[in-house]
């Protein structure tokens, strides 16, 4: 596409202004801004090879600024900020300039992206059928000065762009038609395509505004994967392989290196806790980026309690400093630099995700892809053509399973990314109710999973009698006395606190250092306690740590004894990973205790998991962390909880339904208007966003 196509007739029309270093006001012409945004949007959307579609959207997004009303507002500051709408006009122009029913979906996509480039994506159809987006496009409000805008635009040029864009419509949705047979999954993917297109526009628009303000040109960051691979390989070659566990970790790492030549897809890395999956998955990703030309590595971690540990490990193995531009940490524990310019650079990086290596949280990932707003969705397109590693994937909230499956399938099948699901306790996400996660053939990076688990077996589960906190405190104290230390993990903050208080009474003579960990603490406090526990363990000081499940997944600590309140088998297995983690001793016992008095009424997933683990124990008369029992646990668990995987809401319409076919919205519209819904897209982008939250918004 010619990104210098001239659609603005008057070169004096302005897009924005900025203050120069000498205090003078500089103006950017509207034509220059539209051309720049078209150029950037096409660069960002390269995987889709639909440059005329992305260019057209860029040219139309600020067409509404081609009016005297907006020019007066901009130049003479007539009116408050945002008081002159300029987004919807380009959307109306795109929708009304053509009436081809075969490509109506394309006009709707373009209109949604253009109209929402400031306020966010609207509902194409609300779940109650009361609001539809295309009805806003039929009769332009006189306040929009639509006719004046059209006079200031080369309409023939716009129609030519629309004609070229229509020719690319088939290419745009070809990956969806080829990869989806289920109507609901295909519609979900179509909604994600809208978000991807919107993301490219938002990033291009905001980036051009930033560059104009700074007086700079755009510079693309190209990852130097070969240097990173060479550094990584040089550093791991220095690892000692004296112990058996080190040799097993090296074997797992080598197999991940060999798997890097595989084609893009959705893979699993299922290795026991302590198997070195952080570095093994990174090794796969680095070599995969070279082999297949991927743009970046995105490491998604469920808990803040382990994200800094992971970042430190990755920085160390790649010889990266704290301020190295190769790696970006994006999570709530990071504070902005005091230097104003450094702070602005970091804000830009977190909004764009264009660094070669990104480390973030599952919360940030999910709330980005489920959002309808520009600030979040701006970085969505940066997930394309990447390697995305999900660590401790068993921690994915059950209500998000079907949403997550659709998103990673879209990123893999449509956007060319490779997905890697890592955990010691691999959930059967591909067997969830909707069957919407197509794993790649030979999906395991380490094929002999059972052999790896057997070789790395360092613990044995022992199910104890039911106990209250009085009996449990004595039990824990006795086990700590025998082993020198003990970690006890409970299901609720209240039970953990009660047990901690009882242990303080038993520890009157100060025999043990006592530590307490729960999510009632702020992140800095939790980090301090984990650091103190780790130091005490390294120095072999007698200690007891009472915690909730926040220490289960990924925290690199190793106790001689672990006691776990009865919970889901996945949680029990993760807790066992905190015992004898590096094979310091012979096989150690991990005690599973049914604890009375735990109120799990508000912790439904934990309650269900506990009941299923107890059921399996009654059936088998033993518990272990092998693949056979773990698969049995997940099949029971997913079957019992299948009705919540679509993310239900109090409206009776799930978030999944809102973002796919939206049958309730279509039916309600028909009922209210006595006519079928005429739009191609019926996604409730804004409403779904309002109801979606990974963490309960009322939590403290």
- For the chain, the average pLDDT equals 91
Pseudo-torsion of CA 55, 56, 61, 66, nearest 10°? 110
| Residue that wins the pLDDT comparison between 447 and 660 | 660
* Arithmetic mean of pLDDT, 338-359: 79
pLDDT band of residue 102 (cuts 50, 70, 90) is: confident
* Arithmetic mean of pLDDT, 30-56: 93
Give pLDDT, residue 486.
96
Q: Flag whether pLDDT at 699 surpasses 60.
A: no
Give pLDDT, residue 448.
79
Beta strands in 227-371 (DSSP E): 266-270, 296-301, 327-330, 357-361
Q: Return the minimum-mean-pLDDT range out of 215-224, 288-297, 461-470.
A: 215-224
* Arithmetic mean of pLDDT, 252-270: 96
Q: Flag whether pLDDT at 43 surpasses 90.
A: yes
Which residue, 60, 70, 66, is CA-closest to 90? Answer: 60
pLDDT band of residue 408 (cuts 50, 70, 90) is: very high
User: Which range, 280-294, 309-323, 332-346, 621-635, has the best average confidence (pLDDT)?
Assistant: 280-294
pLDDT band of residue 83 (cuts 50, 70, 90) is: confident
Give pLDDT, residue 244.
81
Which residue, 47, 346, 352, is CA-closest to 199? Answer: 352
Q: Return the minimum-mean-pLDDT range out of 54-68, 246-260, 299-313.
A: 299-313
Are 605 and 640 contacting, i.e. CB atoms less than 8 angstroms apart?
no
- Cα(14)–Cα(151) distance, integer angstroms: 16
Give pLDDT, residue 700.
47
**Around 283, how many Cα atoms within 13 Å sit in the side-chain half-sphere?**
25
- Coil, strand or helix at 118: coil
Give pLDDT, residue 191.
98
Give pLDDT, residue 336.
53
Q: Flag whether pLDDT at 309 surpasses 90.
A: no
* Arithmetic mean of pLDDT, 140-151: 90
* Arithmetic mean of pLDDT, 543-558: 85
Which residue, 459, 412, 475, 417, is CA-closest to 438? Answer: 412
Q: Which residue has the tokens 């006592």?
A: 514
Give pLDDT, residue 332.
65
| Residue that wins the pLDDT comparison between 623 and 102 | 623
pLDDT band of residue 77 (cuts 50, 70, 90) is: confident
* Arithmetic mean of pLDDT, 4-31: 89
Give pLDDT, residue 3.
65
pLDDT (tens digit per residue) in 114-133: 999 998 999 999 999 999 99
pLDDT band of residue 2 (cuts 50, 70, 90) is: low
* Arithmetic mean of pLDDT, 388-408: 96
Phi, psi of 566 (to 5 degrees): -50, 130
pLDDT (tens digit per residue) in 163-201: 999 999 999 999 999 999 999 999 999 999 999 999 999
* Eight-state DSSP code of residue 651: T
- Cα(309)–Cα(302) distance, integer angstroms: 13
pLDDT band of residue 47 (cuts 50, 70, 90) is: confident
Q: Flag whether pLDDT at 625 surpasses 90.
A: no
Query: Environment class of residue 650 by beta-carbon count within 10 Å: exposed (0-12), middle (13-18) or buried (19+)?
Result: exposed
Are 626 and 455 contacting, i.e. CB atoms less than 8 angstroms apart?
no
Q: Flag whether pLDDT at 11 surpasses 50.
A: yes
pLDDT (tens digit per residue) in 218-232: 988 889 999 999 999
Which token pair is 384? 């394309």
* Arithmetic mean of pLDDT, 344-373: 91
- Cα(676)–Cα(663) distance, integer angstroms: 12
Give pLDDT, residue 337.
57
* Eight-state DSSP code of residue 334: P
- Cα(231)–Cα(433) distance, integer angstroms: 43
Give pLDDT, residue 46.
84
pLDDT band of residue 589 (cuts 50, 70, 90) is: very high
Give pLDDT, residue 555.
76
* Arithmetic mean of pLDDT, 322-328: 89
- Cα(566)–Cα(613) distance, integer angstroms: 8
């Amino acid at each position: 596409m010619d990104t210098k196509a001239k659609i603005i007739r008057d070169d004096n029309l302005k897009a924005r202004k900025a203050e120069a270093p000498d205090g003078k006001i500089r103006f950017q012409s509207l034509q220059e801004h539209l051309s720049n945004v078209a150029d950037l949007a096409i660069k960002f959307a390269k995987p889709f090879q639909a440059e005329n579609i992305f260019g057209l959207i860029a040219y139309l997004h600020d067409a509404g600024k081609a009016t005297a009303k907006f020019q007066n507002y901009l130049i003479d500051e007539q009116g408050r900020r945002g008081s002159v709408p300029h987004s919807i006009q380009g959307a109306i122009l795109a929708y009304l300039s053509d009436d081809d029913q075969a490509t109506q979906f394309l006009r709707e996509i373009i209109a949604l992206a253009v109209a929402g480039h400031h306020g966010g994506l609207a509902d194409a159809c609300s779940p109650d059928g009361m609001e539809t987006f295309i009805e806003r496009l039929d009769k332009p409000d006189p306040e929009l000065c639509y006719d004046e805008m059209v006079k200031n635009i080369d309409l023939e040029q716009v129609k030519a762009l629309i004609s070229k864009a229509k020719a690319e419509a088939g290419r745009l949705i070809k990956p969806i038609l080829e990869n989806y047979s289920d109507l609901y999954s295909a519609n979900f993917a179509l909604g994600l395509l809208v978000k991807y297109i919107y993301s490219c526009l938002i990033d291009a628009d905001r980036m051009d505004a930033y560059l104009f303000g700074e007086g700079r040109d755009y510079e693309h960051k190209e990852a130097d994967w070969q240097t990173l691979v060479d550094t990584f390989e040089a550093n791991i070659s220095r690892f000692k392989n004296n112990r058996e566990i080190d040799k097993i970790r090296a074997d797992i790492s080598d197999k991940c290196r060999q798997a890097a030549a595989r084609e893009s897809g959705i893979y699993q890395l299922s290795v026991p806790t302590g198997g070195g999956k952080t570095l093994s998955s990174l090794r796969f990703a680095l070599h995969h980026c070279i082999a297949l030309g991927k743009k970046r590595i995105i490491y998604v971690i469920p808990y803040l309690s382990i994200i800094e540990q992971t970042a430190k490990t990755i920085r160390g193995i790649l010889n990266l400093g704290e301020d190295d531009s190769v790696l970006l940490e994006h999570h709530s524990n990071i504070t902005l630099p005091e230097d104003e310019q450094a702070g602005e650079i970091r804000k830009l990086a977190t909004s764009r995700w264009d660094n070669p290596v990104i480390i973030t949280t599952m919360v940030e990932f999910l709330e980005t892809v489920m959002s309808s707003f520009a600030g979040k969705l701006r970085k969505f397109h940066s997930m394309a053509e990447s390697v995305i590693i999900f660590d401790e994937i068993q921690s994915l909230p059950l209500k998000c399973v079907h949403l997550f499956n659709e998103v990673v399938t879209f990123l893999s099948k449509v956007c060319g990314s490779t997905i890697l699901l890592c955990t010691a306790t691999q959930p059967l996400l591909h067997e969830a109710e909707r069957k919407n996660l197509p794993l790649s053939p030979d999906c395991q990076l380490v094929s002999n999973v059972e052999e790896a688990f057997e070789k790395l077996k360092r613990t044995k589960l022992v199910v104890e009698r039911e106990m209250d906190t009085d009996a449990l405190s004595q039990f824990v104290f006795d086990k700590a006395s025998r082993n020198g230390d003990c970690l006890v993990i409970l299901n609720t903050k209240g039970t953990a606190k009660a047990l901690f208080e009882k242990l303080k009474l038993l520890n009157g003579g100060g025999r043990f250092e006592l530590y307490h960990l729960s999510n009632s603490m702020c992140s800095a406090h939790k980090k301090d306690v984990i650091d103190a526990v780790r130091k005490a363990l390294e120095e072999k000081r007698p200690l007891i740590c009472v915690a909730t499940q926040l220490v289960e997944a990924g925290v690199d600590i190793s106790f001689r004894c672990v006691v776990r309140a009865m919970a889901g088998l996945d949680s029990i297995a993760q807790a066992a990973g905190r015992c004898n983690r590096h094979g310091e001793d012979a096989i150690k016992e991990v005690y599973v205790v049914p604890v009375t008095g735990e109120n799990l009424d508000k912790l439904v997933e934990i309650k269900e998991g506990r009941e299923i683990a107890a059921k399996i124990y009654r059936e088998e008369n033993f518990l272990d962390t092998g693949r056979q029992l773990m698969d049995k646990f997940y099949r029971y668990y997913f079957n019992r909880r299948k009705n919540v995987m679509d993310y239900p809401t109090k409206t009776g319409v799930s978030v999944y339904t809102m973002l796919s076919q939206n049958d309730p919205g279509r039916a309600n519209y028909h009922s209210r208007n006595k006519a079928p819904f005429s739009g191609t897209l019926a996604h409730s982008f804004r409403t779904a966003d309002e109801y979606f939250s990974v963490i309960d918004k009322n939590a403290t």
